[in-house]
Amino acid sequence: MKATFKFILSLIIVLLFQTVQSTQAAPAFWKVKSKTAEIYLFGSIHAGNPSMYPLPEIINNAYINSQHLTVEVDIISPSMLKSIGWLWLNGTLADSKTIDSVLDKDTLALLKKTLTQYKIPYTSIERLKPWIIALNLESLNMTSAELKPQYGIDLHFLTRAHRSRKSVLQLESAEEQFGLFENMTMPQQIVLLKETLKNMISSDDVLGKLVKFWSNGDIDSLEKLILSEMKSDPDSEFFYDLLLTNRNRKMADKIAAYLDTKDKYFVVVGAAHYLGPDSIIRFLHDKGIEVERIE
């Protein structure tokens, strides 16, 4: 698997990106409507920096004029405290096992080396399952690249929605998202951790390209960079189906149901969910729903 593999994982939790904002173009943005409802679709970058703002006026106005903000998960809801408890409870190895009992010698050595680089005691993670170690390392990698979750697109809109008491809807729950990893077999979790460790050092160039393409609304380049190699690699294809295809189909079902209401919705989910042949947009098209890109 290539360096772009971990980007898909990063879109699932509160991570990602540094950016250079373009004055020539804007991030991709779509609209779906029925006789009674309007839905705006916007791809999120889950972490970033101040140069991402302000967002284009057309996007900001669509948010303001919507009654509902829809996200993958409301990450600032008080209920997240319960979800974090679930995460750590289910992310611990059973029977007092430690991570060195499930990893091969080389992977364990690389893990310890990486932890040392980030000044993290091995004892603080030795009881954790491979998947939760991988997600935590990924978060550290993004932060080390001067990326800040507080500048993430989803958090930006969630903060505004909570302050103004705008309705916030969820397409998933935190438990559902974490459950994707928890339900992996141990060999699959180990593959995830190995690939995360291998890609810890070489992410800056890839992230720079991702941010540039996102800022310019260049979805063709984004799709090529993010998805092409995942679809061609057997290990990656498993994660592609688990983290994108299956979730996109379910999200599209929920979004389509909004068309039967009389409200306006502003939907913010990870940018990768709008890309490729198995995207939310594709599944909406399959239902006979027209999706218009707003330029």
In angstroms, the CA 182 to CA 169 distance is 24
What pLDDT, on a 0 to 100 scale, did the predictor assign at position 20? Answer: 31
In angstroms, the CA 269 to CA 155 distance is 11
What pLDDT, on a 0 to 100 scale, did the predictor assign at position 147? Answer: 64
This prediction's pTM: 0.87
- Which parts of the chain have pLDDT scores under 50? 1-24
Confirm if 271 and 211 have CB atoms less than 8 A apart.
no
> What is the chain's alpha carbon radius of gyration, rounded to the nearest angstrom?
19
What pLDDT, on a 0 to 100 scale, did the predictor assign at position 204? Answer: 61
In angstroms, the CA 238 to CA 170 distance is 25
Domains of the chain by residue range: 5-293
What pLDDT, on a 0 to 100 scale, did the predictor assign at position 209? Answer: 75
